[in-house]
Amino acid sequence: MIKVGLDIGNSKISCVVCDLILNQPPKILSFVSLPTSNINKSTFINFQSIKEEIKEIIERSAKESETDIKSIYLNIPLSGSSSIFYKSEINIENELINELHLKKAINKSLFFDQSINKEILMNYILNYEIDDKIITGSPVGNFANKLNLNFYKLSVDQNIINTYKNLFYELKIHIANLIPTPLSSALATLKKDDKDLGSICIDLGESTTSVAVFENKRLIFCDSINIGSKNITNDIARGISTTKESAERLKTLYGSVLSSPSDEYEIIEIPLVSSEDDDPFKQINRSTINLIIKPRVEETLELVWQKLKEYDLNKKRIKNLVLTGGGSQMEGIIDYAQTIFDSNVRLGKPFGILGLNKKFSGPQFSQTIGTVFYQENEYELTFLKKNQKIKKNTIFSRFSSWLDQYI
């Protein structure tokens, strides 16, 4: 089976084409990535230019992979997203639990509720409680007095979804699935034990930083904040009055979160933005750059930590943190994150895939590679889909849904 994944990032657009064979790692047929300057904080600055860029990438991917691309798995940014944890409880009077009990609990829950101007990306059961005992597998076949279902629902701005759908409608490309970008990053970098024992995956991108949390092999949360490595570049450019191009180079070559006594003596010559002097350059030491970088990195990681605390996820005491994305390659950030999150921290790179060119194997391409590992059935209620189409949340649709399931 051929699978095509597309990621529209804030600094690049990437497309991966894979051949999926049962019980074998995915095999790369083509990987194309081109820079873009037409997106800022997940918003299209120039719709027509983005459309042409994506068209070029898809055409090149099709040519390199020798396939006809008509359908894609598309990453969706989580700017302005909302996460809801909710539950449903029913008393079953020591009966044998079956699917009818599960459907009854779902019908009593917020499962069918649709927020205004929001589109649901994910809505599924995290785990079950049988007489206050948590289980992660299906409770069907057990006897119990009380059954609880614990849910997770992720929604994004409807306008974002409509913009993406319109874009690919004009390109005559079918969107097979919409995938939250932080989930793709996690799927590319987290190993089986990471997902089982619990892990936090943070993708440090160009204009956004996203987070995905796994526990008991399930995605339990994902979100993003509008701060990324571009902010660090701008901070450096403003702080030392140099060009953005120079600031980016300084960040890449000399930037570090951790300071060293030798930084004071490492002198760097930089161009000035504007100068009336004959010499348009000046000299700074490395510590000047790092003193600008450190507060921004600290702010970014602290905001992610606060986001987790907002949903009480800090109480889960997950001690495994994976950093990925282009910003994760900054010197010292692994050690710094270890202090803030009080966790074991490692750099996350894509793995478990065949034929990937070395230049695309870095953490900055995790979100693209992760699209090929996405399995829709892991994030849906399969027993509910057998006989039911999810309907809008009205009294009539709930009653009709109940009739479909119980009569």
- 178's enclosing H/E stretch is strand 174-180
Residue 159: name the closest of 222, 84, 226, 80 by CA: 80
Determine the Cα–Cα distance for residues 171 and 153; give it in Å rounded to an integer: 30
Q: Which amino acid is at 199?
A: S
Q: What is the pLDDT along the chain (407 residues), one digit of tens a residue?
A: 999 999 999 999 999 999 999 888 999 999 999 999 999 888 899 999 999 999 999 999 999 999 999 999 999 999 889 999 999 999 998 999 999 999 999 999 999 998 889 999 999 999 999 999 999 899 999 999 999 999 999 999 999 999 999 999 999 999 999 999 999 999 999 999 999 999 999 999 999 999 999 999 999 999 999 999 999 999 999 999 899 999 999 999 998 998 888 888 888 888 887 655 556 788 888 999 999 999 999 999 999 999 999 999 998 889 999 999 999 999 999 999 999 999 999 999 999 999 999 999 999 999 999 999 999 999 988 767 665 554 445 555 555 554 444 44
Look at residue 345 and tell me if it is in a domain: no
Q: State the pLDDT at residue 397.
A: 56
Residue 353 burial (CB count, 10 A): 18
Q: State the pLDDT at residue 392.
A: 45
Contact 206, 77 (CB under 8 A): no
Look at residue 124 and tell me if it is in a domain: yes
- Name the one residue in this structure whose structure tokens are 């939250």: 180
Contact 325, 203 (CB under 8 A): yes
Task: Please list, in sequence order, all residues whose beta carbon lies within 8 angstroms of the beta carbon of residue 328, skipping any fewer than 6 positions away.
Answer: 202, 203, 204, 334, 347, 348, 363
- 210's enclosing H/E stretch is strand 209-215
Look at residue 39 and tell me if it is in a domain: no
Look at residue 121 and tell me if it is in a domain: yes
Query: In angstroms, how far is CA 166 from the centroid of its own chain?
Result: 22
Q: State the pLDDT at residue 280.
A: 79
Residue 102 burial (CB count, 10 A): 23
**242-280 b/e with 16+ CB inside 10 Å = b?**
beeebbbbbbeebbbbeeeeebeeeebebebeeeeeeee
Look at residue 246 and tell me if it is in a domain: no
Determine the Cα–Cα distance for residues 204 and 348; give it in Å rounded to an integer: 11
Q: Which amino acid is at 76?
A: I
Look at residue 40 and tell me if it is in a domain: no
Provide the domain count of the chain: 1
Helical spans, DSSP H, in 190-265: 192-197, 229-240, 244-254
Q: State the pLDDT at residue 261.
A: 85
Look at residue 304 and tell me if it is in a domain: no
Q: Which amino acid is at 336?
A: Y
CATH, residue 399: 3.30.1490.110
Q: How far is CA 76 from CA 79, 124, 190, 202, 371, in A?
A: 9, 18, 19, 16, 11
What's the residue count for the chain? Answer: 407
What residues make up the domain containing 123?
Answer: 82-156+381-406
- 169's enclosing H/E stretch is helix 158-170
Q: State the pLDDT at residue 278.
A: 57
Look at residue 150 and tell me if it is in a domain: yes
